[in-house]
Structure 1
């Protein structure tokens, strides 16, 4: 079967991390657009739920339980996609895990697992899918990074490390494939998105955690991914307010460093004492896999306003002699 145009109706799309959040919303978006889907995640049970949701929109769907940190499983995923549909038009490398805690309180095995999933997962994905793209002469690989690919904050060192590394890897791939005009390497940088990743996060802070406001709908990210599949572009940021932190981080690094700690301490760490937890870093939790994390409440919107005011006040205060 000949490959179709990436993003066109009937396109064959592989999505990793499809069980919740951005991946689940992206599966819905491509299903509504008429794509044929290969959905991958660690949870077999949840994948079947997502497949049923996509089938309701008329999509052809297969599921392939996959741990992207294992290269052989990613190879099997791509092989299954080609065996089912003959080719791959679009591959969305989305799977991620998360943790909160200082570098020193984050267990070494958790740090390593986050790097293996968030960075080596996309590396394994690229290594597995590019031979098919080369043979076809076309294809679009979309890496899901983060604004944390370009900015930093305390308490999320392994996640930031993985996303910074993913940005560099993606840029190198794009440079090396520059002469392959119909093979596109793209990256999406979401800001804080309303997904269960925060409930799923490992936590070694001793406090309840909360995503930094403002919180953006995962459907906005899914629309951006669908748009890029149809009209590839190198990098796209989703979440304008937090996106403005990228130039601030770059142009005023010392000022940024002085302000980000109080912002995280006030807005990300909440009252309440909780025991250390590995979250879903090593094992999925099918019962909590949803498209959203229900963070976009009236209270959260108020916190977004408070966050903006607090940040402006902090910046003004830090600039005083």
Structure 2
């Protein structure tokens, strides 16, 4: 992250709540200048006020990331205001729960538009500026569902795998084009304590819950800040998530079956029925959640981590059996 022109300039989409909000606050504490984007202006105004209290120069723009012209304008307005862009964080995302054959087609399409095309438009908007500068970092927030897909979240899992592929493709193009100073990173968090689960579309009739292990959004924000300074290709947030990925490589069938059981037993409540809802797919979250950092799942964090560790131990035992059979 170049600081030769003064404060580093950071653009964050989906900045009004959850991971995006935590990332904005982390960069504000580090002395960055910020351009914060999201659909809901109320959430943007509140996070901007917090960042200003931390001493950060902050601008906001109400933007739907599926509007390519608006994303181009976001990049142009950032350069006009601050003179450059050092870090661009593609973070805005939506989710939907439900069996693939029961989901409304428009809900599937909206998840793919926001989570894939929104990132594509972000990359296309900022790349020309970073190439002109010769430096800069694009950080794409993917998910642990990219290497380990889940049932009942097919559009979301698909989209996050696509984000991972997008990063790899752009890295190769930059290398071939001689733009070594422009870096592209992918962050893959597990379940994070944000309003995401309450705001997601849900067609299962069961309340969606944060599936253990649950980490605070500040942990992802710290990872993003580190990547802006020391870029790496991919980072999985949390040791348990890394263990899941390793288990999946060694015993993919076992991991698939275990993930299905975990989602069925911990991700979707069996005793909290809810009405079908499109959540925040087509409109910003309500004022009560549009500016929320956390989702209220942290109260069970210790239990969640214990469950996660137990699951890893169970998977590790199964993989040990597989290894013995392969000898």
Q: TM-score, normalised by structure 1?
A: 0.93
SS at 1:177 equivalent: helix
What is the alpha-carbon distance in structure 2 between the residues aligned to residue 34 and residue 192 of structure 1?
Answer: 28
1:261-280 paired onto structure 2 within 5 Å: 261-270=260-269, 271-280=271-280
Q: CA deviation at 1:217?
A: 1.0
**Are 2:288 and 1:287 equivalent residues in the alignment?**
yes
1:133–1:310 CA distance, 2 compared to 1 (3 A): closer
Q: Output one character per residue of 1:212-263: Cα deviation in whole Å (capped at 9) or x when no partner.
A: 1111111111111111111111111111112211122222121122222221
Query: Could you tell me which of 42, 46, 59 is aligned with 1:45?
Result: 42
Contact 1:186 1:233 in 2 (8 A): yes
1:307–1:181 CA distance, 2 compared to 1 (3 A): closer
Is the deviation greater in 197-206 or in 6-15?
6-15
Q: CA deviation at 1:269?
A: 1.2
Contact 2:138 2:185 in 1 (8 A): yes
Q: 2:116 — aligned with what?
A: 119
Q: 1:101 — aligned with what?
A: 98
1:265–1:79 CA distance, 2 compared to 1 (3 A): same
1:17-36 paired onto structure 2 within 5 Å: 17-36=14-33
Q: 1:165 — aligned with what?
A: 162
1:36-115 paired onto structure 2 within 5 Å: 36-115=33-112
SS at 1:97 equivalent: coil
Query: Could you tell me which of 138, 144, 155 is aligned with 1:141?
Result: 138
SS at 1:147 equivalent: coil
Q: CA deviation at 1:149?
A: 1.5
1:299-314 paired onto structure 2 within 5 Å: 299-309=300-310, 312-313=313-314
What is the alpha-carbon distance in structure 2 between the residues aligned to residue 303 and residue 134 of structure 1?
Answer: 43
Q: 2:239 — aligned with what?
A: 240
1:52–1:244 CA distance, 2 compared to 1 (3 A): same
Q: 1:296 — aligned with what?
A: 298
Contact 2:48 2:59 in 1 (8 A): yes
- Structure 1: which 4+ aligned runs deviate by more than 6 Å? 317-321
Contact 2:135 2:181 in 1 (8 A): yes
Could you tell me which runs of 5 or more consecutive residues in structure 2 were left unpaired when the two chains were aligned.
none
Contact 1:78 1:128 in 2 (8 A): yes
**Are 2:256 and 1:254 equivalent residues in the alignment?**
no
Contact 2:192 2:215 in 1 (8 A): yes
